[in-house]
Structure 1
Amino acid sequence: MVHGTMKSLFFQSFADLGSLINYARSYITRASSSRLPRIPKKTSSKTVEVRCRGEFLYGVSPCLAAIQANRRKIHKIYIKPGVSEKKGVMKRSALDNVWKVAEKRKVDILRLDKSAMETLSGKKPHQGVVMDVSPLHFKKIEPSDCKLSATKRSENPIWLLLDELHDPMNLGAILRCAYFLGVDRVITTAKKCCPLSPAVSKASSGAMELLPVFAVQDMGEFLSEASHEGWKILGTCSSIHEDEMDDNKEVPVIQCSQYMVKEPTIIALGNEGYGLRGYIQKACSAMLTVTPCRELSEGFDSLNVAVAAGILLHTLQQNKKDN
């Protein structure tokens, strides 16, 4: 009888231990699911038909910025297996925001293998995440938008004007600088300019998602109206050589470090190859340049337009602050 009782207690203790383990597992599962959204299991790209409803935005920073800005419609999110998990537990990273927003907006998340992800991103560095999103377009700006309120005018805003910029890497880098350095508005030509593509967003590290870009149809009329409304229009050139100035040799060339922003200002950056067009140069009251810090070899007298933009903007913002 005693032996039977001991045997019964022995098995009962194991049953209680099993219940305790199951309870602990369920508690951990509930706690994890309450903190982080559930992600579907790996899906083979061979069984999934991927259809693009908009365009494929790739990279962690552009995707997160697009979610934060909420300017695009998100159709679907694709991730590479293992990008956000370690030993079955999701890591706390920037990607967690993608999952949370996707769950909140009821956007499907699908896992694709490496080959499929590279196909979606055009073999560009996607960092394990690609989103099917609606495209971004330039916002329209009219010459009448140059008119500012007295309060806004007193802040001496800086607008950046891009004249027929073609390279998406340059445009992306300039947008990143403009956003970081507090440019109030970025304006480009409506024609012969780089579109707001996923490549630009990636090069901008997502700044393109956060900073609206405006396009003007008639640049000459726009600059004329801006000048009439009291805007200071400044061009840029690579050096003080007169042959860069076309027919506008009377416009002074000033080192950017010596210029003080005292009124609303438009800074014009030219094309990577031929710079600012002649009629835009004529609309400028001065040309800014970045002075080299060494004697340069013949034929090497300029900076990349995005690098020049960063130096110019930082210098002018500092001068405005110190003024």
Structure 2
Amino acid sequence: MTFLTNAVFKRYLAVGPSAQQAFKTRAKKKPSSFDKFFPQQGNARKKQWEVLNEDKESWFKRKYAHVHARERGQASDPYGKKEAHVDKLREIKNQAKLGQKKHKSKFQNSSMVQKLMNDNPILEYVYGTNSVYAALLNPARTSHSRVLYHGTIPGKIMQKVDELGITTEPADKHRLNLLTNYGVHNNIVLETKPLQPMEIAYLGDVDAASAALTVHELGFSNENIMHEIPYSTKADCKRFPLGLYLDEITDPHNIGAIIRSAYFLGADFVVMSRKNCSPLTAVASKTSSGALELLPIFYVDKPLEFFTKSQEMGGWTFITSHLADATAEKYTTGKTLGVRDLCGMCTELPIVLVVGNESQGVRTNLKMRSDFFVEIPFAGSETNVRAPEPLVDSLNVSVATALLIDNILSCK
């Protein structure tokens, strides 16, 4: 220890005068105490509640309890500037999100089906053996581009293709799947122009002797052009024509199924509302098994006028299918027929059977202009013992239409 002290003293003597003075100054300073930063007993600053001799909790309640959080916010922003600024930032953020979504939508990958269809929007791809063959037989199809096939083309189709001079093109199944949106194409697809049904104003007179009816086409300048169309007759069961009116049926599968049943059972034509009704697509043609190409189909743009003029000018009777309810009693009273009452009606007068939307049925304004109403009775409630109420209380529109057509054209 003495050795260390001597060594320090010798180093002290070796340094200069300025360093010696600094060393002496540093040696004079007293060591710092941690306790000096804490107030000593009796010198601490008293809190406000201590000055007033009041409890801390009661003092805070008395001073700040009346200040509501919302009032504090209003007091801090009396002119609403902060709120307006926050709203502006929120609007900018929302606009940025919308802009981002719009930008992304421009670069979304469209499906191959859309790309193929968008190459030429005036073309339609009819698929299926019966549908393609019926489309080749239909004179209303004004132009056919080509027939795409995989494997071999059926003989009857190949014969018609040769007669019309249509180009054939082999293709793999994947391409046919894309063209038909994975429909059951039977390895054959016809590229053709879509059907353009005639738009008519009303149904005219019926000549039962020559088995012909007249339809009045609506021209460009609103003139009526009359066309005579033959209809089929059956001995003792059908002297007058039977037509269908489809009101706002939106499912193309239902459209195709109705047309298939109508053609098979003996209906003579189909009239469709142009608005809110499924178009005559390739899906409808496939579902109809080609009957869509063989049965006369017309469009109507003004259904109410079509009903009224057909009744007045041509003596047509409109029978509407419906479900009985309290709201419809005021215009169905005395006009309701049973299903068996329809039998043999085509031996007495021309009839148009009206069927409506899958969920809402026929529109009320068309019901009010109908001559008769018919409902298929429900007979399955007692057989279902598991459900407290019937779960299936109606038929598909295509099935119901087939039952009604069959009863109208039946003699028994």
Alignment of 1:146-225 (within 5 A): 146-149=204-207, 151=209, 152=211, 155-225=239-309
Correspondence for 2:357: 271
| Residue among 166, 176, 190 paired with 1:131 | 190
- Count of residue pairs brought into register by the alignment: 258
Q: Aligned equivalents of 1:105 and 1:222: distance in 2? A: 37
- What's 1:7 paired with? none
Structure 1 letter corresponding to 2:396? N
Rounded Cα–Cα distance in structure 1 between residues aligned with 2:326 and 2:332? 6
Compute the displacement of 1:112 (Å).
0.7
Give the unaligned 5+ runs of structure 2: 1-115, 214-237, 383-388
Change (3 A) 1:220 1:197: same
| Structure 2 residue 335 is the aligned partner of structure 1 residue 252 | yes
What pairs up with 1:233-244 in 2 under 5 angstroms?
233-238=318-323, 240-243=324-327
Q: Higher relative contact order by CA 8 Å / sep ≥ 6: 1 or 2?
A: 1
> Equivalents in 2 of 1:288, 1:123: separation in Å?
39
* 1:246 Cα deviation from its structure 2 partner: 6.9
Aligned residue for 1:306?
398
Moved over 3 A (4+): 49-53, 240-243, 296-299
CA shift, 1:149, in A, is 3.0
Percent identical: 26
Q: Residues 251 and 277 (structure 1 numbering): CA distance in 2 closer, same or farther, change over 3 Å?
A: farther
How far apart are the structure 1 equivalents of 2:372 and 2:410? 19
Counterpart AA for 1:74: H
Secondary structure, aligned partner of 1:117: helix
Within 1, Cα distance between the matches of 2:208 and 2:377? Answer: 35
More off after superposition, 162-171 vs 210-219: 210-219
| Rg comparison, structure with higher value | 2
Alignment match of 1:77 (pick from 119, 135, 147): 147
Mapping for residues 79-98 of structure 1, pairs under 5 Å = 79-81=149-151, 83=152, 95-98=154-157
Deviation at 1:288, TM superposition (A): 1.0
Partners of 1:80 and 1:181 lie apart in 2 by: 34
Alpha-carbon offset, residue 123 of structure 1: 1.0
Alpha-carbon shift at residue 181 of structure 1 (Å): 1.3
Matched residue, 2:74: none
* Deviation, structure 1 residue 251: 4.8
8 Å CA contact retained: 1:162, 1:270:
yes
Q: 1:246 to 1:254 in 2, by over 3 A?
A: closer
Closer, same or farther: CA 150–68 of 1 in aligned 2, 3 Å:
closer
The corresponding residue for 2:226 is none
